[in-house]
Structure 1
Amino acid sequence: MRAFQVSQMGAGYAKGEFGEAEAPLLEKGFVLVAVDAASLNSADLRVVGGELTGRFLHKNVKPLIPGYDFAGTVIESADPGFAVGDEVFGFLPYSPSNSAGTLAGQVAAKADSIAKKPEGVSMLHAAMLGTAGATALQGLRDKLRVTRGQRVLINGGSGGVGSFAVQVAKELGATVVATCSAAKAAAVREMGADEVIDYKTTSIKALPGPFDAIFDAAATSSFAECGVLLTKTGRFMTTLPSLGLLTGKLRAAVSSRSCDVIIVKSTPADLAQLADWIAAGKIKVAGESVPFDEVKKGFERLDSGKVVGKVGVSMSKG
């Protein structure tokens, strides 16, 4: 099968090449999917760039096929819940045990980690939904326990995760304040943010608290920096483990506040909920896409920080 590969973790996307790779083997409880679309995440940059955190997100195989998110058609099934021809979507596990990648013609996925794609959602949008949408939903609903009427801060409301977090928080009934650059403010307001603040001109400590929950979607803040903005029982959550997280947990432990990190999992129920919201027009997929042949350009766009939302990859030649 055709795949985009880097020679090893740390080689960087600029040195990636297209080539032939062995098709994945089908194991019991898995389905083999012909990939119609994929999408890129910051984790992909960390993996191909060889960052320390990247080594906890993917097995260091040589060569390495990047990519976690996908949507496609089942071409072989070893699970009774899926049949050949089913259109499905989801994402691979963020784990050092994962040796697969979705920037390829086929991917083998665990049947209990994918969902059937609704007719009202395109393959491209389904692929762009997985990691970022699930991170937003699981983070806001499960970690931050956001409920109707609460006030929520989304730090980095224009990114892949942040763009979904703004919309999911609104679906949960929260009042949403989001940070982003001035150039992206209009887009974030369109997503539903009640207030948008330019992080370049206003420091996070100067934001108009208090907040019941702070979602550090951009992974650029910390409990130490913005814990003062929380209510007495407020909750802070980031998307990237760090030493600062450990310090934050210790600080939070001596108060009634909390500090945590989201470790996202691909679950059929959450994927289905997100896709149903999209099909119903309740949330939208923000971003842009590139054809598979131009995946390096997609990496460049993601790396530039100029994209509002996600970067999708269309595998079709049509």
Structure 2
Amino acid sequence: MKAIRYYAYGSPDVIELEETAKPEPGDDGVLVRVRAAAVNPGDWHLLRGSPYLFRAVAGPIRPKAHGLGADLAGVVEAVGKGVSRFAPGDEVYGCAPGAFAEYVVVPETSPLAGKPAGLTFEQAAAVPTSALTALQALRDRARLKPGQRVLINGAAGGIGTFAVQLAKAYGAEVTGVCGSANVDLVRSIGADHVIDYTREDFTRTGRHYDVVLDNVGNRSVADCRRLLTPAGTYLHNSGAGGRWLGPMGRIIKLNVLNLFVRHTLPSFVTRENADDLDTLRELIEAGKLSPVVSRTHPLSEVPEAIAHVERGHAKGKVVITV
């Protein structure tokens, strides 16, 4: 089979498209024929080995794992003898390391679920990590309630486009922040108000919000807290930061500050799980959530796709067709 591999940290130039052995599922394994896989910021962080703190797990000098890609949609080709959740022919979507490949094997217990009806494989692959992050931020950490006011910084990106729609599905009044080229997109997916950051400073409008979901991290914590109601919640969800600690510096600051202020400043890590993938499928099939796919690339163009996402202005999701 063909698969994307990298053996050293660096730019997209170190990525290779290789012929490698097709994997075989063990007793609890599920072999998926990948039809599409989405690009995430995590892919370029893995590729760069950045921030350096990350290398304590990924490998201090060179990567321990050599695949890239985490979100996929495809068809189950074979299952191990102990597998009962899936059968050959099932259309699935979910999370699997090394998804930029023609085939992957994952345990039955992996975050894998039935593909939402009505979506193409490319659309379904765009959902998992970004939509799970938006769902868990708004539902679990912010505990969003109908009628609350929400501001989403980075509303046109992968997570932002899902967050706008999910906040509306939960009955919130939504303000999206984006650049001029994306104002119409953000309005079209349900935002009640759109702030073009090239024309207006969103931290100085005088409006206050119950929840701020920050997918960019381009303004100070003090600026973002100024946006909150007295009991408001600020959710930091950005990989921005220094070369050594990355977002950890901001997370540490927020955790300390959280001890002394009335605002809620929670940190969170996305939990990839099949139950929430089922929740997302239900929302999609009910017409309340729809992925935004701005461009697709074949497997051979993974370097270009990752470079585009790394530049930081991708609209919605970038997807690899396999």
TM-score normalised by length of structure 2: 0.88
Distance 1:207 1:70 in 2: 40
Counting aligned pairs with the same residue, the percent is: 33
- 1:252 is matched with 258
Distance 1:70 1:222 in 2: 35
The corresponding residue for 2:316 is 309
Q: What displacement does 1:160 show?
A: 0.5
Q: Is the 8 A contact 2:150 2:167 kept in 1?
A: yes
The aligned residue for residue 172 of structure 2 is 174
Q: 1:149 aligns with which of 118, 130, 147?
A: 147
CA distance, structure 2, for counterparts of residue 227 and residue 163 of structure 1: 23
Secondary structure of the corresponding residue to residue 141 of structure 1:
helix
Alpha-carbon distance in 2 for matches of 1:118, 1:11: 36
Counterpart position of 1:64:
66
Return the offset for 1:301: 2.5
Quickly say closer, same or farther: Cα 1:5–1:104, change in 2 above 3 A.
Answer: same
Report the Cα distance in structure 1 between the residues aligned to 2:57 and 2:140, rounded to whole angstroms.
22
CA separation of 1:57 and 1:273: change in aligned 2, threshold 3 A: farther
Give the superposition deviation at 1:21: 2.9
Match of 1:97 in 2: none
Q: Point out the more displaced range, 62-71 or 230-239.
A: 62-71
Taking a change above 3 Å as real, the CA distance of residues 227 and 110 of structure 1, as seen in their structure-2 partners, is farther
Distance 2:36 2:206 in 1: 40
Q: Deviations over 1:63-82 (max 9, x none)?
A: 72110001111122232111
- The one-letter code matched in structure 1 to 2:234 is F
Structure 1: runs of 5+ lacking an equivalent = 93-99
Equivalence map 1:132-147=2 (5 Å) = 132-147=130-145
Q: Which amino acid letter does the alignment assign opposite residue 265 of structure 1?
A: R
Kept in 1: contact 2:58–2:64 (CA 8 A) = no
**Cα 1:44–1:103 shift into 2, 3 Å:** same
2:229 maps to amino acid? T
* Contact 2:94–2:125 (CA under 8 A) maintained in structure 1: yes
Give the counterpart of 1:188 among 166, 182, 186. 186
* 1:1-318 equivalence runs, <5 A: 1-8=1-8, 10-24=9-23, 26-52=25-51, 54-55=54-55, 61=63, 64-78=66-80, 79-92=83-96, 100-112=97-109, 113-240=111-238, 241-287=247-293, 288-315=295-322
- Residues 148 and 56 (structure 1), Cα distance of their counterparts in 2 relative to 1, 3 Å cut: farther
- Where does residue 244 of structure 2 map in the other structure? none
SS of equivalent residue, structure 2 residue 288? coil
Which runs of 5 or more structure 2 residues have no equivalent in the other structure?
239-246
Once residues 239 and 284 of structure 1 are traced to their aligned partners in structure 2, the CA distance between those partners, rounded to angstroms, is: 21
How many aligned residue pairs are there? 307
Q: Report if aligned partners of 2:137, 2:235 keep a CA contact under 8 Å in 1.
A: yes
SS of structure 2 residue aligned to 1:300: helix
**Cα shift readout 1:200-258 (whole Å, capped 9, x = no counterpart):** 33334314431111111224345333112111211111224421222122222212221
Cα distance in 1, alignment partners of residues 49 and 179 from structure 2:
28
C-alpha distance in 2 between matches for 1:162 and 1:272? 20
* Residue identity opposite 1:212 in structure 2: D
Looking at structure 2, the residues matched to 77 and 118 of structure 1 have their Cα atoms a distance apart, in angstroms, of: 21
Q: Relative to structure 1, is the Cα distance of residues 54 and 312 closer, same or farther in structure 2, using a 3 angstrom cutoff?
A: farther
Deviation at 1:25, TM superposition (A): 5.2
Partner AA of 2:311 in structure 1: S
The C-alpha deviation readout for 1:138-176, integer Å capped at 9, x for no partner, is 111001111100000101001100111111111011001
The Cα offsets for residues 253-280 of structure 1, whole Å up to 9 and x where unpaired, read as 2122211233112222211222232233
